[in-house]
A and B are shown apart, each in its own frame.
Chain A
Amino acid sequence: MNRILIGSGNNEIQTINNDKVIIDIKKDVNVLIENDDFNKYVFNVYSSSVNVFCKSEYKDNATYEININKGYVSFNNLSYSSNDVQIDVNLNKENSSVSICNSVIAKHDVTHKIKIMHNCKNTYSKVNNNGITKEDGSIFFDVLSLAPKKCKNCKIYQDSKIISFNDTNKNQINPVLLIDEYDVEAKHSAFIGNFNFNDLFYLMSRGLNKKQAKELLTKGLLIGTLDLCFDEKEMLKKKLDDDWR
């Protein structure tokens, strides 16, 4: 699969219109968005399988619009910044699927809004938000999935988890499912708190001390859950070690 670096200004699928990067994808591709000068991206996907990775480490408020006209998009976001993120997905044709893995490290108050529109029957969406808060940080995950009438056989999943490493009480998860059709499968879960005692006990029973166990769980939560290749994950874990410990 080709790998396209967005922001390099040198590839055929990308156009820039009023500070908005428009990416038209008609064949299978991996897309990497690194730190660049743009804050709004529009993906138009036509009958293809796409893996997107946004390393929006120090980016200003970023907006991503993903229009899927049949095909599959795996959208991965790792956010270190203190700015907000908005992800809007439109599943416009049958057999359109999206999987969003959104990992957030918050040292300040951040809001991540995700909106999934199931505009057609036989569409699939899965949102997996994971965040940790440290220092003065708090996270608000606002997740909205809509399935209007006649959108039969849609599958809608939302999972959000925030682990607090600080004493904030401002963390919030707002999982909303608006479904106006009977024949839809949907579920959501939301968790705010600390790491599970049983998980920590299990890791510690193999010789990891509490700090090591928490670090391993943090890397697993934020990076292990992303749909990326092994090498990419290893680089991110090393960066997490270097930058954020």
Chain B
Amino acid sequence: MLEIKDLTVKVENKIILDKFNLTIEDGKTHVIMGPNGVGKSTLTKVIMCDLNYKIISGDIIYNNESILNLTTDQRAKKGIFLAMQNPPYIDGVTNADFLRTALSSKYEKNINLYSFIKKLDDAVDDLKMPEEMVHRSVNKGFSGGEKKKNEILQMKILEPTFIMLDEIDSGVDVDALKIVADNINKYKENNKDVSCLIITHYTHLLNYVKPDYVHVLKDGKVIKTGDYKLALQIENNGFNFDKVVIDAFNGSDASE
């Protein structure tokens, strides 16, 4: 379980998250929606310990333990995973090398080459990626869809317990989105305790990966929480917060 308590985060003297609270129980899928610049991606990066963001106050607790003092790699080893919106490309480092090193680091021993290749081949097949992509430099020359598939490939290999998907549906065509979503669902089915935090602007992904909770973020705070219907309301009305909040208060459907 991940608990974020009264988290206030600053970057370049601007408060991005303001006494932010969120609890994500094991096995649950939460979605955060909101217009650009309200702190959605900041939240994921703070959880992953991006040092560009300064935590002023509050705490992040994962499985009953504060992770604020842990480094990025220590958090990753605890099972926290961030699929990035714009993953960087790393020239000269192949996907296979990268993943094998990451796995060796996670288990603190050299990984058996045969079992690694088998696992990698299976994951590549599931994602309908060309086999040669694992021998190419990480994300170099990848299309938008290939980059997102590559993030999911890493997720499948590293087997995290808490997954953050930051706009995994942006820059992805319809077929690739379905493949990505199918793989996320399959992973969740096989790992019932895995919890998920999805950052998105649209309901495209949510049509396939059904959320338990949808939160609307504004000015660094959650201003409304609902279920999948709230995402549909936003899809129909945009981020017209007054309307969303008033409609929710009146118990009516804003799309009407």
Contacts and interface: CB of A to CB of B under 8 A. Distances in A.
Contact of A205 (B52, B76, B92): B76
A243 B154 CA distance: 31
A212 B88 CA distance: 18
A198 B85 CA distance: 13
Interface in B80-96: 81-82, 84, 87-88, 90-94
A219 B98 CA distance: 11
A216 interface: yes
A224 interface: yes
A212 B105 CA distance: 8
Contacts of B81: 205-206
B88 A207 contact: no
| Chain B residues touching A, range | 20 to 34
A61 to B, nearest CB: 27
Interface string A210-245: 101100110111111100001000000000000000
Given A196-B88, A198-B88, A216 B73 contact: no
A199 B88 contact: yes
A205 B105 contact: no
A184 B92 CA distance: 28
Contact of A202 (B52, B90, B97): B90
B179 interface: no
A199 B90 contact: yes
B154 A204 contact: no
Given A220-B91, A221-B92, A205 B135 contact: no
Given A209-B105, A212-B101, A216-B101, A204 B92 contact: no
A209 B91 contact: no
Given A198-B88, A217-B93, A221-B91, A205 B82 contact: yes
B199 to A, nearest CB: 15
* Residues of A contacting B: mostly: helix
Contacts of A219: 92-93, 97
B72 interface: yes
Given A206-B154, A207-B105, A224 B76 contact: no
Question: Which of A213, A219, A225 is the most central at the interface, judged by chain B CB atoms within 10 Å of its CB?
Answer: A213
Nearest to B77: A207
Contacts of A222: 92
B91 A204 contact: no
A210 B73 CA distance: 8
A150 B99 CA distance: 49
Interface string A160-173: 00000000000000
17 contacts: A201-B50, A202-B84, A202-B87, A203-B90, A204-B73, A206-B102, A206-B154, A208-B105, A216-B101, A219-B93, A220-B90, A220-B97, A221-B92, A222-B92, A224-B91, A224-B92, A225-B91
